[in-house]
Amino acid sequence: MVKNLKRYRKGIEKEEGREEVSKCDFFPCTFSLPSEYHLFVEKFKRSPGSTWIMKPVAKSQGKGIFLFKKLKDIMDWKKDGSRSEEQKDAAQVESYVAQQYIENPYLINDMHLTNVAVQKTAPDYDPEKGCKWQVQQLRRYLTAKHGREKIQSLFTDIDNIFVRSLQSVQKVIINDKHCFELYGYDILLDENLKPWLIEVNASPSLAATSKEDYELKCRLLEDTLNVVDMEGRLSGKEKRVGGYDLMWNDGPVYREDLNLENYTSPFLTANTHLVSSLSDTQSSQLDV
């Protein structure tokens, strides 16, 4: 994803200029190691004192992640001519991503991140309580603290991340009308309410850790199947299906009815515009 985003940003800058490319400034400085080790070192030396985070490419749930501030901490990923043949022939170094750490995250109750896979190992972890908030709950909290206009702008910026990141991989992603994919986006807010794309998961966990989480995942699966529309009930003109908002349809999609009331209910179920209705059912029965 990162390589495609960098390529996409360069293309936008060349074709549309710096003003437009500023809309792609939503992911931290990131390098793939060991392949981009030299490029990483150049940036590292220009940012003395910065904290970086290392994440394995093929793992999830917080496994293998660590922070570092010194190059000696990642010597295993060094890739240059100074390594001996014995070192080069040693066990293959696992591919990692080195990402500049967001050091000023937005805090809620002095916490900035929920990772159940890590938190559940704590002795005082309560699986029923957990620490997960639904997006609607987060939006209400932020709106109460910062005002409706500012938070509307924040969520517009998050929508921009979704659209731009998918456009960046449009040419390499599987393009088949029979294929569908559910992606999980990790978005981190900094203290200035700027959203940062941390990573995108192609297979987000659908395991439930609490009753509320179970209900949310069930609604997510139901809405996903409604979007796929195997029964042909959608008209093709819907701007929202369940909890899904249409953001792009050969161009940006704007919803005139978007307001705070849409986010005050814990369930977004009254906004699925399906063609199937009583009259449709009656018509089908008459045709039979």
Last residue of a domain, one of 66, 83, 101: 101
Whether the link from the prior residue into 34 is cis, omega within 30° of 0, is yes
Same domain, 251 and 178: no
pLDDT score of 273: 44
Tell how many helices (H) and how many strands (E) occur in the chain: 9, 8
Stretch 5-30: mean pLDDT, rounded? 85
Question: Which residue range(s) make up the domain with 88?
Answer: 29-101
Q: Judge whether 178 lies within some domain.
A: yes
Give the model's confidence band at 211: pLDDT under 50 very low, under 70 low, under 90 confident, else very high. Answer: confident
**Number of compact structural domains in the chain:** 3
Task: With beta carbons less than 8 A apart as the criterion, state whether 185 and 162 touch.
Answer: yes
Last residue of a domain, one of 101, 130, 162: 101
| Average pLDDT value for the chain | 79
Residue in this structure with the two tokens 């009753």, named with its chain if needed = 211
Same domain, 67 and 79: yes
Residue 13 predicted with pLDDT over 50:
yes
For the ranges 44-58, 156-170, 182-196, 243-257, which has the lowest average pLDDT?
243-257
Q: Judge whether 2 lies within some domain.
A: no
pTM of the model: 0.78
- Position 26, amino acid: F
Q: Judge whether 272 lies within some domain.
A: yes
pLDDT score of 161: 94
CATH number at residue 88: 3.30.1490
Same domain, 14 and 123: yes
Last residue of a domain, one of 170, 205, 240: 205
Burial of 24 (0-12, 13-18, 19+ CB in 10 A): buried
